[in-house]
A and B are shown apart, each in its own frame.
Chain A
């Protein structure tokens, strides 16, 4: 059977679904922390805000590229799904794009315009980040229920927007705990303590509203015998949340020990949440609407991209690690010369 699968190229769509999943997860983690820093930039002033933005300055470009790759692979491998998703989400996608535009250019403009205009670009940086995170959360919510209409569905998507926004704020504050020192690090710890509970609240709200919208997710989750395995996901997430809370209460430790741990825990929570979401609609590519096997492109095109991806991915990972090593340690003010 496996031999047939390999021969016929039927495994290709699943390989691509996996690649898209990995790109989207990496995007949520990587751009998640820099979008989160954007959200938090509103609560800092002057030199502190500069230091926060300096901590993400060398990375945000490449982080955002994972979104382009994820959407690009979706476009390439599942053109029907791509068209269906993006036309359903036309307005939130456009909102997110405008948010990305203003936030992206603010990195440069805020330091390259006359001083009296800088507040304008700081504001664009925050509001752009906020619009991006809210619209991304809203879109994931809409996607999860197959773009179902109605008040309950909209409410569900709004709860999801809150969940994702607080999740990004958590990633951002954990990144700052890792990359900053002294006062700013202490403030980041406080932000993280608020964000983790906001995120927990968002998770509870979405879980509570979900059954009113669509029972499919629950039917799937509560089916036996997977339920025993699946119960582990929320249980471990709750455990990680509690550990995070306790850890944040203890930080900062002498010698900056364990400053990396909140970020690692936040990444683990993201991964678990992501796996749970994906499991709830697999083997669909659009929940309840379109299955992975029915949406795929021609095998000859998929093969070409897959080989390219297989060659490029390790190189990409290599130079990403290199870039992070170059800028490792606490963030300093950025300058070109």
Chain B
């Protein structure tokens, strides 16, 4: 394979592995703040049990996020030098601000949050917890500002083939940024809702009937049920934004080969790029146009308007359906859970098992969503400015293949260890609950 394809696979592998952990820590950081504040308000020990249990998971996720994030910071130079040469004046400051005001904040106060519960005054510890959560959110803000700028560049001018900044406010708050930021934060909240629900349901199935498990499950399911409709709303707005700025991506998401009025919504199809048709299409008439243009007969641009400049259709089309399907399942399960919460009944074992099976459903939805937006940007690296193939480094393909194999092996091993550890921690916690654990005022 050529270095371009290998470098793309390597970058995709690195960033896919990396995003798994921020998608947990962003939401979990704030959930820990919530647990801590509930404890301070009620002094009920089970809030502190929840806090300590999920702190362990936060710490593990955080360290995986840090080390895979360090990998990312080197990838630009090792594999994509053309990226920084062309848009370094824009990307550089955004990345620098991420490190300066977010990364250090998280990394420094994490030590206090994790290990200084007995060493500092309670308000300092609570403050450190809030600063860590705030830091992870700010990290996401800067990174998503840059990522969004690559989709919808604004506030710059090109001089001799190099982007120069003109208006920093326009760069940071570029057209897709608010939608992407909101969409990603909500995705993290949903990921965490199902992660906590899954682990606590696992403890419940193992006979842990402590107050922490029941309370935690109630929080997790409520969180999922509240965030999901919000996510649907934000996702819809994000789609409209894509219509305006990246119509070729939207056309690929719907496998719409020809521009048309009154486009259908495709539930299922096998898009075939060689014949430029979709086989076995199952469609709902007019719904596509209604969602995209708010008009059942609205005009939607098809792939025919972007010859040679649209993304590969099948991966975008399928990733989008995986995301929507997972999201629907998450909605169904969290709203079903509300029924038992409402009646103040125990969850049936089958329901708990479904929660356990869906522990990492947020990862599936998050990853497939990112594949939609990132594959959907191809062949551009920066929409309309720089193509991926013009940014790749001159490192020989054999070297890239070697490191790619090493990274993949490491990631598979670490992911297996991570998932096994979460369930091991849950087992250990439920085996030791009932012993003298809990709050130290």
Contact = CB atoms under 8 A, between A and B. Distances in A.
A326 B164 CA distance: 44
Contacts of B399: 90-91
Interface in A288-337: 297-298, 300-301, 304-305, 308-309, 312, 316, 319-320, 323, 326-327, 334-337
Nearest to B131: A319
Contacts of B60: 105, 108-109, 112
A230 interface: no
Between B63, B74, B84, the greatest number of chain A beta carbons within 10 A of the residue's beta carbon is seen for B74
Interface SS majority for chain A: helix
B77 A87 contact: yes
Nearest to B98: A72
A234 B127 CA distance: 46
A319 B421 CA distance: 32
B257 interface: no
Nearest to B417: A109
B93 A76 contact: yes
Contacts of B165: 298, 300-301, 304
Contacts of B424: 112-114
A336 B55 contact: yes
A65 interface: yes
B112 A90 contact: no
A308 to B, nearest CB: 6
B414 A87 contact: no
Given A75-B84, A327-B116, A316 B104 contact: yes
Given A68-B99, A83-B85, A58 B410 contact: no
Interface string A65-84: 10111011101110110111
Given A85-B77, A319-B109, A97 B92 contact: no
A102 interface: yes
A100 interface: yes
B96 A308 contact: yes
**Centre residue among B62, B63, B68, B108 by max chain A CB count within 10 A:** B108
B100 A312 contact: yes
Given A83-B393, A94-B406, A73 B96 contact: yes
Contacts of A71: 73-74, 77
Given A65-B103, A79-B84, A298 B164 contact: yes
Contacts of B69: 68
A321 to B, nearest CB: 10
B425 A112 contact: yes
B56 interface: yes
Nearest to A56: B111
Nearest to B10: A94
Contact of A86 (B62, B78, B410): B78
B290 interface: no
A61 B77 contact: no
Interface string B91-126: 011011101110111111111101111011000000
Contact of B115 (A57, A87, A312, A320): A57
B5 interface: no
Contacts of A75: 73, 76-77, 84, 88, 92, 95
Nearest to A61: B107
Nearest to A315: B101
A275 interface: no
Contacts of A127: none
A326 B414 contact: no
A130 B168 CA distance: 42
B88 A337 contact: no
A154 to B, nearest CB: 17
A59 interface: yes
B99 A104 contact: no
A100 B67 contact: yes
A61 B68 contact: no
Nearest to A82: B77
B215 interface: no
B58 to A, nearest CB: 10
A162 to B, nearest CB: 24
A62 interface: yes
Contact of A87 (B66, B78, B109): B78
Given A98-B410, A336-B117, A308 B77 contact: no
B59 interface: yes
A323 B74 CA distance: 27
A62 B84 contact: no
A318 B426 CA distance: 37
A261 interface: no
A71 B52 CA distance: 35
Contact of B111 (A59, A72, A316, A337): A59
Nearest to B439: A337
A265 interface: no
B52 A336 contact: yes
Contacts of A82: 76-77, 81, 84
A71 B95 CA distance: 11
B206 to A, nearest CB: 16
B68 A323 contact: no
Given A79-B88, A82-B84, A112-B421, A308 B111 contact: no
A87 B3 CA distance: 13
Contact of B112 (A58, A65, A68, A104): A58
A301 B92 contact: yes
Contact of B71 (A77, A87, A97, A320): A97
Contacts of A84: 81
Nearest to A117: B417
Contacts of B107: 61-62, 64-65
A305 B96 contact: yes
Contacts of B425: 112
A319 B63 CA distance: 20
B299 interface: no
A104 B66 contact: yes
Given A72-B96, A79-B92, A336-B56, A61 B393 contact: no
A247 interface: no
Contact of A61 (B96, B110, B164): B110
Interface string B8-28: 000000000000000000000
A301 B104 contact: no
B281 interface: no
Interface in B100-158: 100-101, 103-112, 114-117, 119-120
B403 A90 contact: yes
Interface string B240-252: 0000000000000
Nearest to B414: A105
Interface in A168-187: none
Interface of A: 57-59, 61-62, 64-65, 67-69, 71-73, 75-77, 79-80, 82-87, 90-91, 93-94, 97-98, 100-102, 104-105, 107-109, 112-114, 297-298, 300-301, 304-305, 308-309, 312, 316, 319-320, 323, 326-327, 334-337
Given A90-B78, A301-B92, 7 more contacts: A69-B96, A82-B76, A83-B77, A83-B393, A87-B393, A109-B421, A301-B93
